[in-house]
Amino acid sequence: MTAAVPRRALVTGGSGDLGGAICQQLATDGLHVIVHANGNPARAQQVVDAIHHAGGSAETVVFDVADGEATRAALAALLDGGPIQVVVNNAGIHDDAPMAGMAEAQWKRVIDVSLHGFFHVTQPLLLPMARTRWGRVVSVSSVAAVTGNRGQSNYAAAKAALHGASKSLAREMASRGITVNVVAPGVIEGQMTHDAFPPEVIKQLVPAGRAGRAEEVAALVGFLCSDAAGYVNGQVIGVNGGMA
């Protein structure tokens, strides 16, 4: 008897702290993981190497999710190898400033990556996914999309838009065995958090009194991408230590 071919999962922004943890979780769960990067392909390759070292299956792909044409071309090449049944939209950027002092380019670039990137990546994968009658779409948002955050009107707007888009897409695709959910992390350990949130600030902001770990977010993403989560659909789930 031949072994079953593993489902393929695409994780955008897979070279970052959180993205890398999600990639490793999905690989541990038996998926073939396509680790996406844009600015740091070497770090994406390190994630792939770590997955291979642990006995998993993975490869890299490089493109800018904000560039629709480049994204469609990259996905077409991947789809030549069969459908991608799991997509985790994790790519996102910060470019913080109070709106009164925010440049138009800051507003548009953040929304281009998080929101337009969601469309550019997810839309071409839907029909091939639907033909298999099984699929998982998970987008990584932020507690800022729920509560707001000073200096992040662009980021909060982009991530909050994912909530509405995902709830609508969940209704469209549910009859095809496809679920669409959002995970909204709070303060999560990593280089960006280390620079922006000293420990005393975290204790004030987070009822749990600590930053979350990337692995804690990845565990939830892994569950939502599993067969066991087939009836969890159209949800926005916080991982924020009680912040919201």
User: Which 8-state DSSP code applies to residue 115?
Assistant: I
Q: What H or E segment, with its residue span, contains residue 120?
A: helix 117-131
Which residues are known catalytic residues? Answer: 155
Cα torsion angle, 36, 38, 39, 42, sign = positive
d(CA 31, CA 42): 22
Cα torsion angle, 187, 144, 207, 217, sign = negative
List own/partner pairs for 220-224 with CB under 8 A and 24 or more apart. Answer: 220/183, 221/22, 221/25, 221/26, 221/88, 221/138, 221/140, 221/183, 222/22, 222/25, 222/26, 222/28, 222/29, 224/136, 224/138, 224/179, 224/181, 224/183
Cα 176–Cα 184–Cα 217 angle in degrees, nearest 5 = 90
Chain position carrying tokens 């922004």: 13
Q: What H or E segment, with its residue span, contains residue 11?
A: strand 8-11
d(CA 203, CA 194): 13
